[in-house]
Amino acid sequence: MRWRVFFGLQVLVVGLIAGAAVFVAQMHDDHVVIAKKPPQSIGQWYKPENKRQVWLHTMFRLRREVVAIETYALAEDSPNLNKWAGMLDKDYQKIASMVPEWAPRLDLDTLAAVQNAAGEGRYKEVIAALGKLNDTCRSCHADFRTVTAALYRAPDFSGMKVADGKPLNEHMAALSRHVNHIKIAIDDGRDGDAMTAFSNLKTGLDELGGTCVKCHNKLGQKIYPDPTLSGAIAKLEESLRTGNLKSKGRSLGMVAVLACAQCHGTHRLAFDAKVLYSQDKTWRRLLQHRF
């Protein structure tokens, strides 16, 4: 009897371990990616909270300072080296005053080592210390660069309306239906229906073009449909009237690349990332898995 209890327990333990292993394997199947968000205090250094992209410009200066210091240390040009080392000192320390939460990520000892070596003309040591300082740039970038750019710099399409007040994503879904209606009608030899869907698509693209000018306001230039896309649309119309199956398919493909894929490559990708990173999911919502 006691043995039976003993074996029973063994089976139970093995079962639990097997159960745990299955659970872990499922977690791996889902490829959970954990992204760290930057502290909110960084927002004040971006538009629209700030008039300029202050954070980004500080970063560009840091990169320039690192390149200059490297150049002048190799050239053993002490006056220029010290000029740029002084600038690096100020800008690198600025990171902590702009985003206090990030102060612990800085290496002020190494920053001082760059200054001292530069001041005393120990050029090789300048390069070595600069390399070490660069590691702190790289480590912060690995954690935060992509998320920060998506959250604070990706153009925002949420709440955007097209033409008669239709939400952007509904307008998108309609455009996608027009493109597919054209393709289906071509394949099934329904030429009249292909033409109707084409004219709906053309109107839809013109309406969409009205939203671009809010941000892309090149003087006197129509950015969407631009001349290249307009040419492709005219060619598609001609193919639909007179072309064979192959030329119809090809000219539709060209319109889809120019009218949809190009913008998606920039705006949809970036906007999707922005939306993904700004979602705050509560445990309750995660457990329900309804989102």
Residue numbers of the site for ligand HEC (CB under 6 A)?
38, 55-56, 59-60, 62-63, 66, 92, 95, 102, 105, 133, 136-137, 140-141, 144-145, 148-149, 152-153, 155-157, 168-169, 172-173, 175-176, 179, 208, 211-212, 214-216, 224, 259-260, 262-264, 266-268, 270-271
Token pair 């300048």 in the structure block, residue: 126
**Identity of the residue, 123 or 154, whose beta carbon is nearer to ligand HEC in the bound complex:** 154
**Closest distance between ligand HEC and the C-beta of residue 5, in Å?**
58
Would residue 163 be called left, alpha or beta, if left means φ above 0 and alpha means ψ between -120 and 50 degrees? left
**Identity of the residue, 123 or 144, whose beta carbon is nearer to ligand HEC in the bound complex:** 144
Give yes or no for a contact between 68 and 80, defined as CB atoms under 8 angstroms apart. Answer: yes
**Closest distance between ligand HEC and the C-beta of residue 141, in Å?**
5
**Closest distance between ligand HEC and the C-beta of residue 26, in Å?**
28
> How many degrees, rounded to 5, is the angle at CA 269 between CA 267 and CA 270?
65
**Identity of the residue, 72 or 224, whose beta carbon is nearer to ligand HEC in the bound complex:** 224
Give yes or no for a contact between 114 and 125, defined as CB atoms under 8 angstroms apart. Answer: no
Give yes or no for a contact between 261 and 141, defined as CB atoms under 8 angstroms apart. Answer: no
**Closest distance between ligand HEC and the C-beta of residue 151, in Å?**
9
Backbone φ and ψ of 153, nearest 5°? -120, -15
Nearest one of 104, 111, 141, 145 to 129, comparing CA atoms = 111
**Identity of the residue, 123 or 205, whose beta carbon is nearer to ligand HEC in the bound complex:** 205
**Closest distance between ligand HEC and the C-beta of residue 178, in Å?**
7
**Identity of the residue, 102 or 119, whose beta carbon is nearer to ligand HEC in the bound complex:** 102
Token pair 């003087």 in the structure block, residue: 219
**Identity of the residue, 20 or 52, whose beta carbon is nearer to ligand HEC in the bound complex:** 52
Rounded-to-integer distance, Cα 55 and Cα 19, Å: 48
**Closest distance between ligand HEC and the C-beta of residue 241, in Å?**
20
Query: Is-cis flag, bond preceding 225, omega within 30?
Result: yes
